[in-house]
Amino acid sequence: MTMLLRCLVVPPLLLVAAATTATAQTWPDRPIKFISSQAAGNATDTLARLTADLLSQRLGQPIVVENRPGGGNVIGTQAASRSAPDGYTFFFATAAPLVSDPYTFKSLPYDPMKDFVPVARVAEISFAIMAHPSVPAKNLPELMALAKAEPSRYSFATDGQRRFSGMIVAWLNKLAGTNILQVPYKVQTQGIQDTLAGRVHLIILGVPNARPHIASGALRPLAVTSLKRIEGLETVPTVAETFPGFDFPGWWLLAAPTGTPADVIARMNREMDAVLKDEAVLKRLRGMGFSTSGATTPQHTRDYVNSQHAAWGTLVKEIGLKPE
């Protein structure tokens, strides 16, 4: 009887291992959801739906993109962080809710460093610092020289002092010792229109949105915010060539609620990597203005998030921005 009971008692670790194996063998067996904290129709939504469609073909299950905009990314991010960690809900994240919002909000109903597990990098874009043709500068050093010579003359259209372009302008002013005026816009299209008309002199746009204005000659690119020069705009220098180490691109990654099974994370990472390294997909992404080096690994993705979190922390501290 004693021997029989011993045989029937299964050690807890074996139960966990069995459950993990079962998950690996059966996942996914129903539709998957990507939550986005951005509205439908923008670059994030386009990229999320493209990758969701391609991944669903490899996984054999539909992947639905659920847009939960509002509250400066808080609504969607909170919803993703509170989702069941069962491998069927992922967060299609931008940089803001993970690495910059923690410095601009006094409090958040989630902890981006504890409530999410990075799964895979997806893509990134550089931002272009552009000038109306009436500005005689051909590059960033020339712009900074002009701004120092005439401190009150030039202005930047931004999305607000607490948003991406506003913080970048403040950081550039700090690094260069200039004081270029910010003109904040609630709607980016109005800022673009005013810059095209010359009512504002400068603007920062994601390269996909910037390319048409560059091609037409309506706006002149002075620098890009990524660490390396970008394909198609190789003659445009990086900000880092003037201020070494400057690296503030826009990026997207896939994250999962903490507690999601490790085998599910590993599988999703492998499938995302295969999608992003397909030549046809690469060509399509490049044509849309995105760049990618593949999904990398979950640990590499975490390390990148940590480094960007630290970089934004330095920026916010140096420009003296207080959380609200």
Walk me through the domains of the chain, giving residue ranges and CATH numbers: 32-124+249-319 (3.40.190.150), 127-241 (3.40.190.10)
CB 166 within 8 A of CB 180: no
User: What tens digit of pLDDT does each residue of 211-260 get?
Assistant: 899 999 999 999 999 988 988 899 999 999 999 989 888 999 999 999 99
Residue keyed to tokens 């109306």: 132
User: What are the DSSP calls for 262-290, one per residue?
Assistant: HHHHHHHHHHHHHHHT-HHHHHHHHHHT-
pTM above 0.85, yes or no: no
Name 99's Cβ contacts closer than 8 Å, sequence gap at least 6. Answer: 112, 305, 308, 309, 311, 312
**pLDDT score, position 9:** 52
Name 314's Cβ contacts closer than 8 Å, sequence gap at least 6. Answer: none
Separation CA 256–CA 272 (nearest Å): 14
Mean of pLDDT values over 191-220: 94
Q: Give 5's pLDDT tier (boundaries 50, 70, 90).
A: very low
**pLDDT score, position 42:** 82
**pLDDT score, position 309:** 92
**pLDDT score, position 143:** 97
Q: Give 24's pLDDT tier (boundaries 50, 70, 90).
A: low
Residue keyed to tokens 């601009």: 104
User: What tens digit of pLDDT does each residue of 285-294 get?
Assistant: 988 888 899 9
Q: Give 121's pLDDT tier (boundaries 50, 70, 90).
A: very high
CB 297 within 8 A of CB 269: yes
**pLDDT score, position 324:** 83
**pLDDT score, position 17:** 46
- Given CA atoms 117, 124, 44, 285 in this order, what sign does their dihedral have? negative
